[in-house]
Amino acid sequence: MSDLTSLYQEIILEHYRKPRNFGALDDPSFEAAGHNPLCGDRVKVSLKVDDQGKVSEVGFEGAGCAISTASASLMTESIKGKSLQEARELFSRFRDMVTGKNEVGDHDLGKLEALAGVRDLPIRVKCATLAWHTLQAAIQGEAEPVSTE
């Protein structure tokens, strides 16, 4: 069960039980819906951008597994105060981490590194990236819900 505790680290369970920035924003600058057809999980991400072009507020809602909920919660914390371009770059590095493209520890992703254990479970990568794909769709102004498939 040792690899299990590295997957379900305390920080992940804690964010699953008490997700941060949970809820939809009123009058968001960007919003989008995401869907993982494999498990039926759905998420909505909405954000506001200030006049400096930085993310000032971000919220998510939906019901999902521990990995997808914790990932969404950690994502909202990590992109606050960042520009949209910085948020995209963060997703790119996060995706490289969970798909195993980089060595663990090379990511400089802070708390997001708690999700590195997903790299050993390809089927769960979609759970970890659902909120991020949805964020990207929001920024790009996708009208249709984005799917992980």
Partner 1 sequence: MSVEVASQKTVPDAAPQGLDVRAVRLDFPALHQEIHGHPLVYLDNAASAQKPQAVIDALVKGYSKSYSNVHRGVHTLSQRATDDYEQARSTARAFLGAEKDEEIVFVRGTSEAINLVAWSFARPRLGPGDQVLISHMEHHSNIVPWQMVCEDSGAELVVAPIDDRGQLDLEAFKTLLSAKTKMVSLVHISNALGTINPVKEVVAAAHEKGIPVMLDGAQAAPHGAVDVQALGCDFYAISSHKLFGPTGIGALYGRYEHLESMRPYQGGGEMIRYVSFDKTEYNVPPHRFEAGTPNIVGAIGMAAAMDYVTGLGFAEIVTHEAALLDYAHQRLSAIPQVRLIGTAEHKASVVSFTIDGAHPHDIGTILDHQGIAVRAGHHCAQPIMDRFGLPATARASFAFYNTLDEVDRLADGVGKVIDMFC
- Which is closer to partner 1, CB of 79 or CB of 128? 128
* Minimum distance from residue 5 beta carbon to partner 1 (Å): 9
- Which is closer to partner 1, CB of 8 or CB of 95? 8
* Minimum distance from residue 46 beta carbon to partner 1 (Å): 21
Strand spans (E) along the chain: 30-36, 41-49, 55-63, 146-147
* Minimum distance from residue 40 beta carbon to partner 1 (Å): 4
Q: Which residue has the tokens 């914790």?
A: 70
- Which is closer to partner 1, CB of 5 or CB of 92? 5
Q: How far apart are CA 28 and CA 57, in angstroms?
A: 9
Starting at the edge strand that comes first in sequence, how are the strands of the sheet with 41-49 ordered?
55-63, 41-49, 30-36, 146-147
* Minimum distance from residue 71 beta carbon to partner 1 (Å): 12
Torsion from C-alpha of 78, 117, 129, 10, nearest 10 degrees = -50
Q: What is the DSSP letter of 81?
A: T
Binding site residues, partner 1, CB under 8 A: 1, 3-4, 7-8, 13, 16, 38-42, 63-67, 121, 124, 127
- Which is closer to partner 1, CB of 11 or CB of 65? 65
